[in-house]
Amino acid sequence: MNKPIAQPISPGELQQLLGWPTLVFLLIFPGIDWLGLDLKLADRIYQWGNGAWVLRDHWVTTTLIHEGGRKLTGFFLVMLLALCAFSYRHNGLKKFRSALWYLLTVAVFCALVINLLKEFTAMDCPWDLGRYGGNKLYHGLFGLPGFNQTPGRCFPAGHASAAYAWFGAYFVARLHFPKFQNLAIGTVITLGLIFGVAQQLRGAHFLSHDLCTAWLCWIIACGAY
């Protein structure tokens, strides 16, 4: 029989892995809206570009990070699916089968949840707002979209989820390669920051969009583990 995917998690570990990140999120997230940090940061970026999103179509932010990041994630998904299939034929991969399926399931589920939420939150991208050259009104994280205004699809952040959806790598490393668990989570967070900041520089997302995406992906990965 295959070993179970997860070792039992003690209440103390659960508090550390699930409770504390959630508490921090619930403290910071409303504060971003209350202090207007989304707009303040976006204002700085927009003013830096002399009233334009100068990096919106730049090859680094658009071609390398945005398009390249999506292709990299797609490549990882295909490779992971192949490894899951090969685990039924190669004894060397058999002991990792549950972990591989866990990692694939978490990554796909994170992407589905983020995309589903985009349909219901009706929040706009910065570049769609009249404040930044668009034609829509800003309604905040807890406000309602204006009348006769087409609902947006920018919250949570989709591109950042291409990195944060791999939080499951931390738990796989925790189970099978404990020495590399910090490297795993550090790599995911670094990629998430790169993807998120690039999109903010393009005018595609606010800070809060990326923060919410990171928290949701972490909760999914932790809960599934």
- The predicted structure's pLDDT at residue 41: 97
Q: How far is it, in rounded angstroms, from Cα 51 to Cα 163?
A: 30
On whether residue 188 sits in a domain, the answer given is: yes
Inform me whether the pLDDT recorded for 7 exceeds 70.
Answer: no
Tokens of 158: 């989709």
| pLDDT tens by residue, 57-81 | 999 999 999 999 999 999 999 999 9
On whether residue 160 sits in a domain, the answer given is: yes
Percent helix / strand / coil, the chain, rounded to 5? 70, 0, 25
Instruction: Read off the pLDDT band of 14 (50, 70, 90).
Output: confident
On whether residue 54 sits in a domain, the answer given is: yes
Mean pLDDT of 197-201: 98
Q: How many domains does the chain have?
A: 1
What residues are paired with 136 via a beta bridge? 129
Instruction: Read off the pLDDT band of 5 (50, 70, 90).
Output: very low
- The predicted structure's pLDDT at residue 6: 53
User: Please, are residues 224 and 106 in contact by the beta-carbon 8 Å criterion?
Assistant: yes
- The predicted structure's pLDDT at residue 140: 84
Q: What range does the domain containing 60 cover?
A: 17-141+154-224
User: Please, are residues 129 and 152 in contact by the beta-carbon 8 Å criterion?
Assistant: no
Nearest 5°: the CA angle 21, 160, 67 is 165
CB atoms within 10 A of CB 99: 25
Q: How far is it, in rounded angstroms, from Cα 174 to Cα 152?
A: 38
- The predicted structure's pLDDT at residue 97: 95
Mean pLDDT of 29-49: 96
What residues are paired with 129 via a beta bridge? 136
On whether residue 211 sits in a domain, the answer given is: yes
| pLDDT tens by residue, 152-168 | 899 999 999 999 999 99
Query: What is the value of pTM for the model shown?
Result: 0.92
Instruction: Read off the pLDDT band of 139 (50, 70, 90).
Output: confident
| CA distance to 26, 37, 42, 57, per residue, from 31 (Å) | 9, 8, 16, 31
Inform me whether the pLDDT recorded for 216 exceeds 50.
Answer: yes
On whether residue 203 sits in a domain, the answer given is: yes
On whether residue 3 sits in a domain, the answer given is: no
On whether residue 78 sits in a domain, the answer given is: yes
